[in-house]
Amino acid sequence: MFTKTTETRTTKTTVIRADDQPQEVREVKTITTTYAPIAAAAEKLEVVDRDLNLGAWVKKPLYVGEHEVSLNHGRSFASGNKKAVLIGINYVGTDHELKGCIQDVKHVQDFLISHRGYTDTPETMKFLSDEASLEELKPTRKNILAAFEWLTSNNQPGDQLFLHYSGHGAVMKQASHPNGQEDCLVPLDYKTAGCIDADAIHRALYHVLPPTVKLSVIFDCCHSGTMLELPWTYRPSEDGTLNKKEVDSKGFKREHFTSETEGETVDKPVVVISGCRDDQTSADTIIKGYGSTGALSYAVQSVLKEQGPVTYDGLLRHIREFMATNNLTQVPQLSCGMEIDPTGTFEF
C-alpha cells in the first residue's frame, strides 16, 4: 500500500527589486508526497550506474581489524538548530545524464520538512541542482564547496547539520594519495573545474566541524564507501550485528583525525550513509509508482517512513534487504567520526 501525505506550506523569500530595495515574497504551496512501501520492487526499466569513468582503478580496502562495540557517548542534539544542504545533479544534456538525482533531493527536502523539523529558508537550507535559475545555486565545484562552508559555519553547540548528495561519483588517479587514487564527487562543471576529491571533502566538512555539532550525510553515488574518510566503518557480520572496523593508518593520513592543538584523536558526531562500497557503483533506477530515483535515497526514506525511529543497525539492515530484494548488488555502508552504539537511534 502506498502512503500519501498532503501539506500546505508557506515560504518567505527576500528579493531585491529593480530599485535595489528588499521585498519579501510569500508563496503558498500544497505538496502531496507519496511513499511506496519498502518491499516494492524496483522496476528496472532503466538502471544507470552513478559512476563516471575517470580512467582509474578499483580502490583497495582501507580498513583492518574487527571487533564488536556497544558504546554510547550519550550526546543529545535534539534541541539544536537544523541546517541542510541538498545537492542533486542530473548532468542534463551531457553524455553522462542521470534521471533521478534531482527527484531524490526534492523528496528528501519534503521529508526533512514534514518529518524532521527542518525549514526551507535561505538561512536554514540550500538546494543545488541543474534546474536552479540562480547561478550560485547550480551544483558547480565552486558552489558545492561554498555550500559545504556555509553548512559548517556559524553553528552553536547542539546544532544538527544534514547533507544529501545525489549524482555521479568517481575514482581518480592521485599520485599524492597513499593508494595512488582517490574517490571524488563529480560537480556539474567537472570538465573545466575538476572533481572534488575525498581529501577536499574531509577538510571542508569533518576537519572544521566542532565536536559539539552533529553532521549526518547521505552520499547516493558510486565509489562512496569512504568518501568522507572517517575513522570508523560499521558492517554487518554473519549474525546480522554491526561490527566496527578501524581505519588503516597506511590508507588514510592520520592527521585527518587529530586535533591541531593537542595532537590527539578527536571524536566527532559525524555519520555517513553511502550507497555502496568504494569498489562498487550505485544505481539510478525507476520505482514503479514513484519515478526515477537513486536506490539508496529511496530505501532510506522508505525505511524511515515505515519504521519511524530506527537504530543504526536496523537502518543499515533494512536498506541492504531492500537492495537484495530488488537484485541490486550495491552494498550500502555506514561510517562514523566516533565509535557509536549500533543499537542507538539514528537521528538527524
Angle, CA of 139, 5 and 114, to the nearest 5° = 50
Q: Which residues are catalytic?
A: 168, 222
Lookup result for grid cell 518529518: 115
Nearest-angstrom CA–CA distance, 160 and 215: 6
The three three-digit cell numbers of residue 327, written as one number: 537484485
Q: Are 268 and 336 in contact (CB under 8 A)?
A: no
The three three-digit cell numbers of residue 252, written as one number: 588514510
Residue 69's identity, in one-letter code, is V
Strands 283-287 and 48-49: antiparallel
By CB neighbour count within 10 A (0-12 exposed, 13-18 middle, 19+ buried), where does 214 fall? buried
Q: Are 317 and 248 in contact (CB under 8 A)?
A: no
Q: Are 11 and 110 in contact (CB under 8 A)?
A: no
Nearest-angstrom CA–CA distance, 152 and 204: 8
The three three-digit cell numbers of residue 263, written as one number: 595532537
Q: Are 282 and 169 in contact (CB under 8 A)?
A: yes
Residue count of the chain, please give it.
348
Q: Are 106 and 112 in contact (CB under 8 A)?
A: no
Nearest-angstrom CA–CA distance, 105 and 86: 6
